[in-house]
Amino acid sequence: MKISTPYIPREYLALKINYCKKGLAKLPEVSLSTRKIHGEKVTACIFESHVYKSDSKNGAELFQTAKKRMSLISELTKLEGIWYSQFNCPVPEDYQPHKVVRQINTGYNGLVNINKQYFDSLKNDANPNHRDKKFHVFNGICYRSNIERNIAAYYTEQGIPFKYEPEVWIAGLNKPIYPDFVAFYRELDLCKFHEHFGLMDKASYLREAEIKYNDYSNAGLVPGLDILFTYDISGMPFDIRSLGPAINLSIYNSMLLPYE
């Protein structure tokens, strides 16, 4: 069952389109074709008027390049279709992909860039606590609540890689914390943390939320920029449609920062 809608906020959509365009501009123009070479029908890679078998030394690398091109072209076609169905104007070129340097104070290891290398180092679903309370399954992972499951589905549908409750070390603590989500935005080579707070009308939960907020701030993470907080309150339940604008604002603010 689809949880979200195809809607992608304007700035983030423009950034994703320009990411695909920039990626295509960097890749050699390689195409694939089925050819007969020495009487054998093979997949051939065509590059600068030369033909290479896809399983040859040069052909294997060109084959991977061709696959990347096809993937980016497919994604770009889809994203531009969404853009022109919503906005009667060209895609703005202001929102260009680039590396944004943001750091987390891990304590023992000092300041660490929260980039792809950091994201890849995080183990998915690492929290050993309260596993018996996680019943809401999505893509083989059990989530603590249906709302967390819906958030995971949203990230998945938007093509945003994430880790659920990974082990994270931060300065000032003698044990790791387990953020609900750490998402990776390839367009900026940047991770963003996401904590969802439920039961916010209960005093004990409010105290826990305040502690987490302070811990993240002490580690150098800026709320609304490096970390998103979403909430569930009696009489005002969390609506998954509110996550897109929150991500968009965070992405927009990140694009205004100095970068490599």
Are 212 and 249 members of one domain?
Answer: yes
Higher pLDDT, 74 or 242: 74
Average pLDDT value for residue range 134-140: 81
pLDDT of residue 258: 74
Tell me, yes or no, whether 95 lies in a domain: no
Q: State the sign of the Cα–Cα–Cα–Cα dihedral 123, 129, 132, 134.
A: negative
Q: CB count, 10 Å around CB of 67?
A: 13
The mean predicted confidence, pLDDT, of the chain is 89
Are 137 and 49 members of one domain?
Answer: no
Are 158 and 244 members of one domain?
Answer: yes
Specify the residue for token string 């531009």: 80
Model's pTM, two decimal places?
Answer: 0.88
Average pLDDT value for residue range 199-207: 67
Are 36 and 113 members of one domain?
Answer: no
Domain boundary among 86, 120, 135: 86
Are 125 and 23 members of one domain?
Answer: no
pLDDT of residue 206: 75
The residue segments making up the domain with residue 222 are: 103-255
Are 48 and 79 members of one domain?
Answer: yes
- 154-196 pLDDT, tens digit per residue, is 999 999 999 999 999 999 899 999 999 999 999 999 999 999 9
Please state the domain count of the chain.
2
Average pLDDT value for residue range 246-251: 94
Tell me, yes or no, whether 115 lies in a domain: yes
Residue 4 has pLDDT above 60, yes or no: no
Q: What stretch of H or E contains 248? A: helix 243-255
pLDDT of residue 90: 96
